[in-house]
Amino acid sequence: MIIEEEEKIEGKNEKLLVDLCECYLLLNRWASSKFLSICVHCLLKVSLKKEENEEARKEVEIALLALSNIAMWKFIEQNLYLKEIKEIIQCHQKHHNLTRLAYQSAWQFLINRLYEDYSLVEVVVNELHFGREAARELDELRGNVDWKRKEERGKEAKEVHILIRWLDVIGDFFFECRLSNEEYIGLISSMTRLFRASRDNYREINFFCICLIGTVADNRALEIEDLFKSEAIDAALEEIIRSNTKYSQIDFYLSFFRSTS
């Protein structure tokens, strides 16, 4: 159906094509290379909408969410997406026109491309300032969650779900990236604040944060002095001496200290 609609010379139903591409990508991370160029072009076109109304923002959100679901090991030529995704991210940085989920999804789509195209690192780190942007988003989302109230499983606030998505993309970024940048100090500081805020009622997020900081230490993306500045080492030490920390987790924290040393 995607091919048939795309190849129509007259009477092409753009709305139908968008819906088909979104469904295909959201249901299939293993998207065929045959369809990727069509879907990416179609959904980036939707994502570039500048209208301020709620309906347009929702359309952009769903389009970017679908794009973010393309697996990282799927190679896409830069000329099919880079100019457009940079414009989308930079426009939001200037005008804040995207929803939080849409903005996270735009970054997820771009970071996923690092796996097959490491030449993008310079753009991600120094041109689009991933470290600065991810830190700001984590801090703002953290401020919108009531960390004292324990949520029932499956009923967490929307902000919590987007926080977890940001931690996923940060993990993917540091797994691939070896380019150091001073903005990482702010990002690790934000993750440390999230680590402390979530330690009582959101242990999954709490442990996720320290795992990511350990990955940064392993990759030597920061100097040891930077880890001290971000208070990550103090936070890990605090967790070791807490009476309710599990033995299996204590072993991880000790491994964290071995990595930093």
The answer, yes or no, to whether residue 22 has pLDDT greater than 90, is yes
The answer, yes or no, to whether residue 125 has pLDDT greater than 80, is yes
Which tokens in the block code for residue 61? Answer: 């959100």
- Is residue 100 within 8 A of residue 61, CB to CB? The reply is no
CA-angle at 171, arms to 238 and 179, nearest 5°: 100
Instruction: Identify the pLDDT of residue 152.
Output: 64
Encode burial over 197-224: b for 16+ CB neighbours within 10 A, e otherwise: bbbeebeebbbbbbebbbbbbeeebbee
Helix (H) / strand (E) element for 179: namely none
Which tokens in the block code for residue 222? Answer: 């920061």
The answer, yes or no, to whether residue 97 has pLDDT greater than 90, is yes
- 2-16, 25-39, 128-142, 222-236: which is most confident: 128-142
This model's pTM is above 0.75: yes
What three-state secondary structure class fits 150? coil
The average pLDDT across 45-73 equals: 93
The answer, yes or no, to whether residue 214 has pLDDT greater than 70, is yes
Instruction: Identify the pLDDT of residue 178.
Output: 74
Higher confidence at residue 34 or residue 90? Answer: 90
Residues 225, 28: Cα–Cα separation, whole Å:
43
- Is residue 141 within 8 A of residue 163, CB to CB? The reply is yes
Residues 131, 247: Cα–Cα separation, whole Å:
32
Which tokens in the block code for residue 114? Answer: 């690092």
- Is residue 97 within 8 A of residue 50, CB to CB? The reply is yes
Instruction: Name the band, by pLDDT with cuts 50, 70 and 90, for residue 261.
Output: confident
Residues 64, 56: Cα–Cα separation, whole Å:
12
Instruction: Identify the pLDDT of residue 217.
Output: 76
**Of the candidates 135, 141, 132, 131, which has an alpha carbon nearest to the alpha carbon of residue 161?**
141
The answer, yes or no, to whether residue 121 has pLDDT greater than 90, is yes
**Of the candidates 85, 94, 91, which has an alpha carbon nearest to the alpha carbon of residue 63?**
85
Residues 48, 69: Cα–Cα separation, whole Å:
18
Residue type, 210: I
Instruction: Identify the pLDDT of residue 249.
Output: 72
Instruction: Name the band, by pLDDT with cuts 50, 70 and 90, for residue 153.
Output: low
The answer, yes or no, to whether residue 204 has pLDDT greater than 90, is no
The average pLDDT across 155-170 equals: 89
What three-state secondary structure class fits 11? coil
User: How far is it between the farthest Cα atoms of the chain?
Assistant: 70
The average pLDDT across 87-95 equals: 96
The average pLDDT across 64-73 equals: 95
